[in-house]
Structure 1
Amino acid sequence: MTHPSPTELLVLHAVRLKGHADSAAVAARFGLDAHDTHEYLLDAQAHGWVAKASFADLTGWSLTGTGRQRNESQLRDELDGIDARGTVDAVHEDFLPFNAQASRLFTAAQLGSAGDIHGQLADIADALRDLERRLTARLTRFSGYHDRFAIALAKSIDDPAWLTAIEVDSCHRVWFELHEDLIATLNLSR
């Protein structure tokens, strides 16, 4: 049976996955209500779990060290509470060879290498569909990675920025976020 994560966990986890994001982007990550998310962020700020900062023309939230520890505790408690550690660990193991391949492809795309990058990333997207299916059978918060990746891949045919750019929800950004989600959930280091 799939488990819906509590909003407080999703808000902190979205900040972790995004790295630095405004309230709307945090809410959008898991389809949360924007007003409620902003209120959760203000509460999290009062607890010292998030900080609001501005860089150039961007203002957003980021996790503090205490917030990272809080999110790790939430993730651990959730994973153990629903006995899903084995599933997530198995998916992570299956993810690693695809991660090595994806990393090579993203580097090649950034260097402008020719080749069948799109075809190989399409194969990775197919694998991602299965990985996500296995994860979402236990935790709903893992949903959406395949669709986001596939949309970015389709857009990259006309605009290569959708392969690796950081200012759009590119294939690389989606893949990096999934990797962070898996290692955060399992409390691993990169």
Structure 2
Amino acid sequence: MTASSAHRSDPRLLVWLALRLKGLGEIDDVAAVHGLEPDEAEWLLAELDAAGHCMFREVGGVPKFILTPSGRDDGEAALAEELDAAGARDVVTGVYHRFLGLNPKMLQLCTDWQVFPADRPAAGGDTAPGDGNRLNDHSDADYDAAIIRRLEALHDELAGVLDALTSVLARYENYLARFADALAKLHAGDLDYLTKPMMPSYHTIWFELHEDLLATLGINRADEAAAQQ
């Protein structure tokens, strides 16, 4: 199956899934996950609200939405139905396990971005006890550049994962563009775009892709963690 013949999701399901990934989502952020227009996302959210599948909240004067328990359950059922109707379960399950193989690389990369390794000499050349707790202040451009090169290599591996997903479910198409945008902003010098939360950083999008796969396959994070021990 090619990307052009991949199953295309109902926009209502796309909005539900985006809201699941965001937790408490603003209209523009919900729309951006799958590349919808904000106006379309807004009226679809209004439909979900009217059906009791999500709730509207105003936080600091900004309209935000959150799934209700019934909305969360109904959405998971719709995802499972779509997965089987598209004949995509085996592919997505296989890709999920490939993604899990990449996940430790991403976690270590993010740790190294935020905290210097214990064996790295401090300023002046001495390695002090507990040096691994020194936060990376991003004053060492070579150190940061080495981590970004690791991210580029991981990005190439991730592209293969996303290609496999988009061959069966077209809703995964927008992920690679979002990852590429975060990587481009890193190259442009905006260092927040690797790990900073509450913005479309590389790590934020990675977390959302992970949650997307879990929701699609009906896997609980706690069960996943237990299975990996």
Same fold (TM over 0.5): yes
Which shifted more, 90-99 or 28-37? 28-37
Unaligned runs of 5+ in 2: 116-134, 137-142, 222-229
Q: Deviations over 1:43-78 (max 9, x none)?
A: 211222111123335431111111111110110000
CA deviation after TM superposition for structure 1 residue 8, in Å: 1.3
Larger-gyration structure (1/2): 2
CA deviation after TM superposition for structure 1 residue 15, in Å: 0.8
Q: Deviations over 1:127-176 (max 9, x none)?
A: 11111110000001011222222221232241210111124311101111
2:204 aligned with 1:170: no
Task: Report the TM-score, using the length of structure 2 for normalisation.
Answer: 0.77
Task: Report the TM-score, using the length of structure 1 for normalisation.
Answer: 0.92
Name the structure 2 match of 1:144. Answer: 174
**Structure 1: distance between partners of 2:32 and 2:185:** 20
Aligned partner of 2:216 among 163, 185, 189: 185
2:51 aligned with 1:47: yes
**Structure 2: distance between partners of 1:146 and 1:31:** 12
Letter in 2 for 1:141: R
Unaligned runs of 5+ in 1: none
2:63 aligned with 1:67: no
Letter in 1 for 2:202: C
Q: Tell me how many residue pairs correspond in the alignment.
A: 190
SS of corresponding position for 1:21: strand
Q: Deviations over 1:80-101 (max 9, x none)?
A: 1111000000001011121111
Identity of aligned residues (%): 37
**Structure 1: distance between partners of 2:101 and 2:70:** 32
SS of corresponding position for 1:54: strand
**Structure 2: distance between partners of 1:189 and 1:50:** 21
Name the structure 2 match of 1:124. Answer: 154
Aligned partner of 1:91 among 95, 98, 101: 95
